[in-house]
């Protein structure tokens, strides 16, 4: 079947590169980036681009060592561990500096039994299966507050520390609380989060893509 272009009836921008450039310029003009670490600007811009909300930067909380720690880890070949398949799918593999592994273990055959035994969510149970890859990894949460809480509890119990935590669970139950726990965590692990209910897989993937490669 051959493709046929429809008759053009609407006046809209159609040049992909121009759309991209104008979008990022608009974000910089309308978002307050001034209080963020200087090296986090491009990360913030990509996150705003992913959600279309220029006030996102008002709630964005970025540890001063987050960008450097995450980029150094990825350049050294560290894996990305995530709570949601949608986050993993959103990572642009061509941007990864070392063809880094991007892993979500939510569908591992062990997860359901662990979740039942521990009376928790499958997302949280899956985080325990990260233990042998956690040391120096970049971890990203774009869905489940229970998974972020679970990781913080693992770290307090002595689990290996990741290089950086992208904590962006979304929702109305536990999301804001889990992100506050990350921001006030007693162990000094570089983090990025957005306070409140906002978050999600697209936002987490956009942060990872910006960290994977500085070039916009």
- Show which residues are catalytic: 49
Residue 211: CB atoms within 10 A of its CB come to: 27
Residue 30: CB atoms within 10 A of its CB come to: 11
> Cα 51–54–60 angle (5° rounding)?
80
169-176: list long-range contacts, CB under 8 Å, 24+ apart: 169/83, 169/141, 169/142, 169/143, 169/144, 169/145, 169/199, 170/142, 170/143, 170/197, 170/198, 170/199, 170/200, 170/203, 171/145, 171/197, 171/199, 172/197, 173/145, 174/145, 174/146, 174/149, 175/145, 175/199
For 159, the token pair is 């689990």
């Amino acid at each position: 079947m051959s493709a046929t272009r429809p008759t053009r009836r609407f006046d809209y921008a159609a040049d992909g590169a121009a759309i991209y450039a104008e979008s990022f310029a608009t974000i910089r003009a309308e978002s307050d980036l001034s209080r963020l670490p200087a090296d986090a600007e491009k990360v913030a811009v990509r996150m705003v681009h992913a959600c279309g909300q220029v006030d996102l930067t008002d709630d964005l909380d970025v540890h001063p060592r987050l960008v450097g720690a995450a980029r150094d880890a990825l350049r050294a070949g560290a894996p990305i561990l995530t709570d949601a398949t949608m986050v993993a799918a959103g990572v642009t593999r061509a941007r990864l500096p070392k063809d880094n592994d991007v892993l979500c273990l939510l569908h591992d055959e062990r997860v359901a039994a662990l979740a039942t035994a521990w009376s928790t969510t499958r997302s949280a149970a899956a985080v325990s299966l990260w233990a042998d890859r956690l040391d120096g990894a970049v971890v990203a949460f774009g869905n489940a507050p229970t998974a972020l809480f679970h990781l913080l509890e693992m770290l307090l119990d002595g689990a290996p520390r990741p290089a950086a935590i992208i904590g962006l669970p979304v929702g109305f139950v536990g999301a804001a609380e889990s992100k506050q726990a990350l921001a006030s965590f007693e162990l000094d692990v570089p983090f990025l989060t957005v306070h409140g209910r906002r978050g999600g897989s697209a936002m987490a993937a956009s942060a990872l893509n910006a960290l994977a490669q500085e070039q916009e």
